[in-house]
Amino acid sequence: MNNQKKYLIKLLPGGKSIKVSTDYNLKQAILDTGINIDSSCGGVGTCGRCKVRVKEGKVNTKKSKFISSKEKENGYVLSCLSKVESDLIVEVPRQKKAGVKIEKGRFADIESKIYADISKDELASVEIKPWIKKGTIVVEKPSLSYGTSDLFRLKKSIRENLGIKNCIVPIHIIRKLPLVLREKDWEVTVTVDKENSTLIDVQPGRTDKKSYGLALDIGTTSLVIYLADLENGKIINSESEYNPQIKFGEDIINRIVYANRKGGLGKLKEVIIDSINNLIWRLLFNSQVDADSIVSMMVSGNSTMMHLFYGVPPRYIREEPYVTVANKFSSSTAKEVGIKHIKNAYVYNIQGVASYLGGDITSGILATDMYKKKELTLFLDLGTNGELVVGNSEWMMGASCSAGPAFEGGGVKCGIRAVDGAIEKMSIDQKTYKCQAEVIGGGKPRGICGSGLIDVVGEMYLKGVIDRKGKFNKDIGNKYLKCVDDDCQYILVNGKNSATGEDIYISEVDIDNLIRAKAAIYAGIKTLLEEVDSSIHDLDKIYIAGGLGRHLNIRNTVIIGMLPDVDVGKYFFLGNTSVTGAYLSLLSEDKYRQSSKIAEHITYIELSVNMKFMDRYVAGLFLPYTDMKDFPTVEECLYSLDSKLKK
């Protein structure tokens, strides 16, 4: 059979078109046109988000529980389960998340943000001494009685002035060496990569040219990059962007599945590198910094993101016994990993601990003081995954619990990420059960984000809308509860008041998803503490890092039984500690060395096969927890509310 591209697919609205061969996957065809069709399962038919309507033409499609019989009649199919069999006209629903940008201004005042994330004292204590060392030196002149080579005399001067022995000088530097040395009478400015004892650049004379570095956090959901002055540590500018790999799978597991496909790894690497190149271009453009003055880039990210960044197959991260290919990758030139614009810069990465405790967590610990102090601290990074480290200057123990995508708005029917239009806070009127929402960016709501969801469930539980199992109390006269048989939806925002024109609601399935997520987090904390014969009451501090933390109402996380019921004063929000740690490591070789020490210092506990964890998890499938004694203030609160109602 001839496999040439024979069928024309036209997409509505907009009219983009593409030619594909017989049996080509319809979702892939849509992605190929550049349209970001929604999907969180990576294209295996389990999330139901890539629904499209085939208006003309024929596809070979599989049955799906996400397509009702009425929808089927009208031509709706899951594009990921459909193969092209003729010319098509396909209507692609407006994508909820397509084109959404991280709100402007979030990183506008970078300096103050940094100071908020780590204490001023901590930042002030960082000695600015990057891995990339720049120095002006005078090289001894040759003479008839001292006729050693230019290279020998240069190395001697580097050793004597900068203390770097046996500096490696690559051929491309040797090529320009004789002219550079003689241009300003043997005075040169050298740039040395101290980790690899390698000369990166040599310029004639004392150059006023500054040197800059980049700190990059590759998150599963978003990318954040800082441009920093390597002399004074000042952050010149920053940029952020969604991780473009989202369209191939929202969470880590789905990306790994996609990477296993033919060409999948290459595609995932390509889109992330393209995005980073784009971020760097924007940084350079906006700050008018010369690309050649960028000498280094420090990258932090979870283990899967680092594998994909370096183009390394992540497959064994999700197959027992769950090992990475590498927790630390060799440093390399930017060119080697495909980074444009700053080709001669060196790329370093923060060492990770294990498959599900990556360099982003090491970086996070580095951004705190917990590895230096005796206080018992819990570090918690809440994003797509929940990672936790407990310990102090003497020991540290870490684990990861798969919280599922609920906190990022995934797995929840009306869930969206924490962007403009997302409900981030929610209160419920005790008498009418009417909801009052706070929306990010003001305006009408489009959906509910992770922190909003926690608020809703907490409020629903406190106000008696749901019971301890997360099931709706149908006998309280809640007129916002709409049930069809056993399928109930609690209307949070009426369609008339939403941005989409449709109701924003929460169902028992959504609540169940959140309960599973919070149960995993709390079980992780309990298990980790029990491993070291401690309890939640021994904790001196709890650091919350990650995207979720920014909008979180701690009290509600305690009410639903996700975080320990301890003095709220022990909680601290740190924001994106992964990029902060990368930034510190970029500025200071001591910090960079420290990050590897931290990674080696953390004992990793694999929770997925830990029986105690399973017990705690099952115990956590109630609100707030099976044993109410763990949550005394919640019990007290419920008792007092109950009393009020009875009055």
> Under the rule (CB under 8 A), what is the footprint of its own copies?
142-144, 146-152, 168-171, 174-175, 177-179, 182, 310-313, 315-316, 320-330, 332, 336-337, 354-355, 604, 606, 609
The CB-of-238 to its own copies minimum distance in angstroms stands at: 26
The CB-of-145 to its own copies minimum distance in angstroms stands at: 8
Q: 145 or 288: whose CB is closer to its own copies?
A: 145
Instruction: Report the DSSP beta bridge partners of residue 603.
Output: 397
Q: Which of 169, 164, 230 is nearest to 201 (CA)?
A: 169
Q: 312 or 536: whose CB is closer to its own copies?
A: 312
DSSP state of 128: -
Instruction: Report the DSSP beta bridge partners of residue 297.
Output: 214, 347
Residues 6+ positions from 577 with CB-CB distance below 8 Å: 117, 118, 363, 364, 365, 367, 368, 381, 543, 545, 546
How far is residue 490's CA from residue 478's CA, in Å, rounded to a whole number? 9
Q: 3 or 146: whose CB is closer to its own copies?
A: 146
Q: 166 or 288: whose CB is closer to its own copies?
A: 166
The CB-of-184 to its own copies minimum distance in angstroms stands at: 16
User: Taking phi first (over 0 means left), then psi (-120 to 50 degrees means alpha), and beta for anything else, what does residue 378 get?
Assistant: beta
Q: 11 or 357: whose CB is closer to its own copies?
A: 357
535 backbone dihedrals φ, ψ, rounded to 5°: -130, 170
Q: Which amino acid is at 622?
A: F
Q: 332 or 534: whose CB is closer to its own copies?
A: 332
β-pairing verdict for 377-382 and 386-391: antiparallel
Angle between helices 150-162 and 171-183 (to 10 degrees): 80
Instruction: Report the DSSP beta bridge partners of residue 412.
Output: none
Q: Which of 140, 613, 602, 246 is nearest to 391 (CA)?
A: 602
The CB-of-357 to its own copies minimum distance in angstroms stands at: 10
The CB-of-334 to its own copies minimum distance in angstroms stands at: 12
Q: Hunting for tokens 């609160």 — which residue is that?
A: 637
Q: How far is CA 482 from CA 263, 317, 445, 453, in A?
A: 46, 42, 20, 19
The CB-of-200 to its own copies minimum distance in angstroms stands at: 13
The CB-of-436 to its own copies minimum distance in angstroms stands at: 47
Token pair of 418 as six digits: 């924490």
Q: Hunting for tokens 């650091």 — which residue is that?
A: 543
Classified as helix, coil or strand, 66 is coil
Q: 19 or 176: whose CB is closer to its own copies?
A: 176
The CB-of-311 to its own copies minimum distance in angstroms stands at: 5
Q: 93 or 311: whose CB is closer to its own copies?
A: 311
